[in-house]
Amino acid sequence: MELILDIALLSLLLVTAVYIAWTRDLFAAVILAGIYGLLSASFFMSMGAVDVAFTEAAVGAGISPLLMLSTLAICGRAQRANPQRALLALLTVGVVGALLITATLEMPAFGSPDAPAHLHVAPRYIADSMREIGIPNVVTSVLASYRAFDTLGEVVVIFTAGLGVLSLLGLRGDVREEPIHSPMAEPSHLVLRVVGKVLIPPILLFALYVQFHGEYGPGGGFQAGVIFAVGFILYSLVFGLEAVEKIVNRALVQALAAVGVLIYGTVGLLGIVSGRNYLDYSGLAGDSVAGQHLGIIAIELGVGITVASVMMIVFFVFSAQLARGRAVPHAS
């Protein structure tokens, strides 16, 4: 049964991927990318990787198609044909793909218990996590404590991406000639407004649940940050960008993106202050398990703040750019 499900999901993934590469209509490609994200989330789910599936559903199927759609709204949906570059790209992809497939030939069989990944540190994490960290979700204890330094790197990557978008598009945003008017912000969209108002508070509440429940079930800062940002993005889609700017101070969000990384790094430094290694939380509280709890909650909060702020920054900068483009006469 599981095999049939895997085969069905994987062949759908393959078809979607090929069609994304094939189609010239970028709008269709973006929607298909969302479907691809949802399919991979289901596939991860069937493999039992609930946390990864959750992230993929929130990021791959949720916010990244949204950001790509706003990019398309700026750039246009038609792909320009360029046969020479296409040939070059095909050649590169072919060579890299062949190398990757050759590499997989030497990999251990799927799910093999003798695979190096399952013999190196994983048994120790699984055996000792409950005693050392004391939280039920081993994924969170690996992500936030054993491998906290890797996660710090991921957060910095997200922060840097936000900085990149800001430096490319955002710095001109302060000079605004006329108020931004989103076409969605018309009073006629009554149904969307009512449903948006009903749905946004539960979305934010759910984000907080995911944030603070990450130790016990699937979830954590990354997913929660994305869901939290989606609440605000939905508000701006339905009520317009200027409505959301009344609630969300742009400078504050930009500062919060840095504050999240800062919280993470500071918790790491507190580990040194308490006489242990960087990002070792054991000394933060009286006994080491309580210290681990405290440290994990603090760094997950930092991750959530940074991810939510960066997502909001990227979306708002894109929308502002779109609105500037629209100030030039443009039927829509």
Site string for another protein, 96-135 (x = CB under 8 A): ----------------------------------------
Site string for another protein, 133-152 (x = CB under 8 A): --------------------
Q: What is the DSSP letter of 309?
A: H
1 binds another protein (CB under 8 A): no
**Considering only residues 1, 103, 109, 331, which one is a binding residue for another protein as defined by CB under 8 A?**
331
For another protein, the closer of residues 97 and 183 by Cβ is 183
332 binds another protein (CB under 8 A): yes
By CB neighbour count within 10 A (0-12 exposed, 13-18 middle, 19+ buried), where does 188 fall?
A: exposed
CA dihedral 256, 261, 267, 272 (to 10 degrees): -140
Amino acid at 309: S
3 binds another protein (CB under 8 A): no
Q: How far is the CB of 77 from another protein (least distance, A)?
A: 4
Residue carrying structure tokens 């984000």: 207
**Considering only residues 12, 13, 35, 72, which one is a binding residue for another protein as defined by CB under 8 A?**
72
Q: How far is the CB of 27 from another protein (least distance, A)?
A: 6
DSSP of 242-306, one letter per residue? HHHHHHS-HHHHHHHHHHHHHHHHHHHHHHHHTTS-TT-GGGGSSSHHHHHHHHHHHHHHHHHHH
Task: List binders of another protein among 167-206 (CB under 8 A).
Answer: 183, 189, 191-192, 195, 198-199, 202
Sign of CA dihedral 243, 207, 253, 222: negative
Task: List binders of another protein among 35-54 (CB under 8 A).
Answer: none
Structure tokens at 77: 């949906």
Helix (H, G, I), strand (E, B) or coil at 175: coil
DSSP of 98-139, one letter per residue? HHHHHHHHTSPPTT-TTSHHHHTTHHHHHHHHHHHT--S-HH
**Considering only residues 19, 27, 212, 278, which one is a binding residue for another protein as defined by CB under 8 A?**
27
76 binds another protein (CB under 8 A): yes
For another protein, the closer of residues 167 and 188 by Cβ is 188
Q: How far is the CB of 5 from another protein (least distance, A)?
A: 15
Amino acid at 279: L
**Considering only residues 52, 77, 274, 289, which one is a binding residue for another protein as defined by CB under 8 A?**
77
Structure tokens at 272: 């040194």
330 binds another protein (CB under 8 A): yes
31 binds another protein (CB under 8 A): no
Residue carrying structure tokens 């990354």: 222
For another protein, the closer of residues 122 and 192 by Cβ is 192
Site residues, another protein (CB under 8 A): 26-27, 69, 72-73, 75-78, 183, 189, 191-192, 195, 198-199, 202, 330-332
